């Protein structure tokens, strides 16, 4: 007899998604309201207020994403071992919420780095158990819809957060090209309430799904995760190495003269596109091969990155960044859903931990390489603002070709 959490109507829409998916999605909504208010203006604060160069910004962003990688792997495996996802995820969200007030007091890049890393440790604890909880609560017929809806809510939160940040910046400094310290601090204060609501939403709204079968506690083993998963991991890794922090897209926009206010409005529209595309793309991925949607998303990504490299005017950056939402909407949630397709139920936490850990590990060299390519290091001045985007677009094309010709066709693992 199937668990009631997994008895969904595959022909139904988002109203038929189980309570856990709604609780996780609401949590992501509130946390992204909080996080995106701060994170999207953080590179501007570092560059404009603290005078930090792009190679240091790349270092901070790269280590921030990589610092949590081991925890992502461990927390996913641990959630498989204990058969529980919820409270690990709650603990991770709580740590991120507790770290945010310290941005207000930061007066050096070292302190910003420490707070950013603490926030990412929280993400490392929560991400794999959260995704495994969504996978446990759905069957393969609506899994893409569930992950697509989760990404849509996550992104809608980012959009709301950016609107709030834009309102704060408008009243504090209008159309100034550079970020002020006062604007940044007011945004940080405004981010605290949704962070608290995020933790409460998951703690109160979600519950663990009992395993349908009893399995021995899993061990760390890439072999046990299967060849299709490992091939997928390598291909995603190549793509990720060229996928540097979006902080560089923001700095590229400022490089061409777009004001702080203009950047925030641009990000709002980007998130509107992302949020609008995620749910229908996820639902479509339940009906067709998810791989095809990922391929389409990566091709869009490559075109956009080459566009950022060649852009000469502000309107070109605007158009490219808005189109960037198509890549995220098509590929991001679909890629996450595909992980669950490749491994058995009792290894989902481990698989998500491994997947997110790999992405996190490679985020460090990806962002560091981007920063060095742009402004160099030591006496070398780098290749200029186009270089990191040419590099990222080229690796996206390579990863796309590998996904087309190397990734085996697989049946979803039940």
Number of domains the chain contains: 1
Question: Mean pLDDT: which of 64-68, 74-78, 85-89 is highest?
Answer: 85-89
In sequence order, what are the residues at sequence separation of 6 or more whose Cβ sits closer than 8 angstroms to the Cβ of residue 395? 238, 239, 241, 242, 243
Q: In this predicted structure, what is the pLDDT of residue 211? A: 60
Q: In this predicted structure, what is the pLDDT of residue 221? A: 60
| Better-predicted residue by pLDDT, 186 or 62 | 186
Q: How far apart are CA 398 and CA 239, in angstroms?
A: 8
Q: In this predicted structure, what is the pLDDT of residue 140? A: 79
Q: Establish if 5 belongs to a structural domain.
A: no
pLDDT, tens digit, 9 for 90 and up, residues 166-214 = 888 888 776 666 778 888 888 999 999 999 999 999 999 999 887 655 5
Is residue 2 scored above 50 in pLDDT? no
Q: Establish if 1 belongs to a structural domain.
A: no
Q: Establish if 293 belongs to a structural domain.
A: yes
Tell me the residue range of the domain where 57 lies.
Answer: 19-207+223-405
Is residue 77 scored above 70 in pLDDT? yes
Q: Establish if 6 belongs to a structural domain.
A: no
Q: In this predicted structure, what is the pLDDT of residue 28? A: 95
Q: In this predicted structure, what is the pLDDT of residue 323? A: 92
What DSSP state is assigned to residue 411? P
Q: Establish if 413 belongs to a structural domain.
A: no
pLDDT, tens digit, 9 for 90 and up, residues 285-342 = 888 889 999 999 999 999 999 999 999 999 999 999 989 999 998 998 899 889 988 9
What DSSP state is assigned to residue 4? G
The percentage of the chain sitting over the pLDDT mark of 90, rounded to a whole number, equals 39
- Token readout for 254 is 């400022």
> What are the angstrom distances between the C-alpha of 237 and each of 22, 355, 360, 399?
30, 9, 10, 8
Number of Cβ within 10 Å of residue 262's Cβ equals: 18
Q: Establish if 217 belongs to a structural domain.
A: no
Q: Establish if 240 belongs to a structural domain.
A: yes
Is residue 266 scored above 50 in pLDDT? yes
User: Where residue 271 sits, what CATH number does that domain have?
Assistant: 1.20.1250.20
Rounded (5°) CA angle 181-185-189: 175
């Amino acid at each position: 007899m199937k668990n009631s959490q997994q008895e969904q109507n595959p022909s139904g829409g988002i109203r038929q998604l189980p309570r856990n998916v709604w609780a996780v999605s609401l949590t992501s909504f509130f946390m992204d309201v909080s996080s995106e208010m701060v994170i999207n203006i953080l590179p501007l604060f570092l560059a404009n207020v603290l005078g930090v160069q792009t190679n240091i910004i790349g270092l901070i962003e790269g280590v921030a994403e990589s610092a949590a990688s081991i925890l992502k792997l461990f927390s996913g495996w641990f959630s498989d071992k204990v058969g529980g996802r919820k409270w690990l995820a709650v603990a991770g969200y709580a740590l991120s919420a507790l770290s945010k007030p310290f941005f207000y007091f930061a007066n050096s890049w070292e302190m910003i780095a420490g707070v950013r890393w603490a926030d990412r440790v929280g993400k490392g604890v929560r991400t794999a158990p959260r995704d495994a909880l969504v996978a446990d609560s759905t069957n393969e017929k609506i899994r893409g819809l569930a992950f697509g809806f989760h990404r849509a809510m996550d992104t809608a939160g980012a959009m709301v957060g950016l609107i709030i940040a834009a309102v704060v910046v408008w009243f504090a400094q209008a159309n100034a090209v550079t970020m002020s310290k006062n604007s940044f601090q007011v945004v940080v204060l405004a981010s605290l309430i949704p962070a608290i609501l995020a933790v409460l939403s998951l703690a109160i709204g979600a519950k663990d799904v009992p395993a349908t079968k009893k399995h021995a506690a899993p061990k760390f083993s890439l072999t046990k995760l299967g060849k299709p998963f490992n091939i997928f991991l390598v291909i995603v890794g190549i793509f990720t190495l060229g996928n540097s922090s979006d902080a560089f897209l923001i700095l590229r926009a400022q490089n061409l003269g777009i004001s702080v206010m203009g950047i925030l409005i641009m990000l709002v529209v980007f998130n509107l596109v992302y949020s609008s595309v995620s749910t229908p793309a996820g639902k479509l991925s339940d009906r067709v091969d998810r791989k095809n949607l990922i391929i389409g998303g990566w091709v869009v990504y490559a075109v956009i990155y080459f566009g950022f490299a060649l852009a000469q005017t502000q309107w070109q950056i605007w158009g490219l960044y808005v189109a960037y939402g198509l890549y995220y909407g098509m590929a991001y949630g679909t890629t996450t859903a595909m992980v669950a397709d490749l491994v058995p139920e009792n290894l989902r936490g481990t698989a998500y931990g491994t997947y997110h850990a790999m992405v996190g590990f490679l985020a460090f060299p990806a962002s560091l390489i981007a920063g060095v390519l742009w402004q160099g290091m030591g006496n070398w001045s780098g290749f200029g603002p186009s270089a990191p985007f040419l590099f990222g677009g080229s690796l996206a094309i390579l990863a796309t070709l590998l996904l087309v010709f190397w990734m085996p066709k697989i049946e979803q693992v039940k």
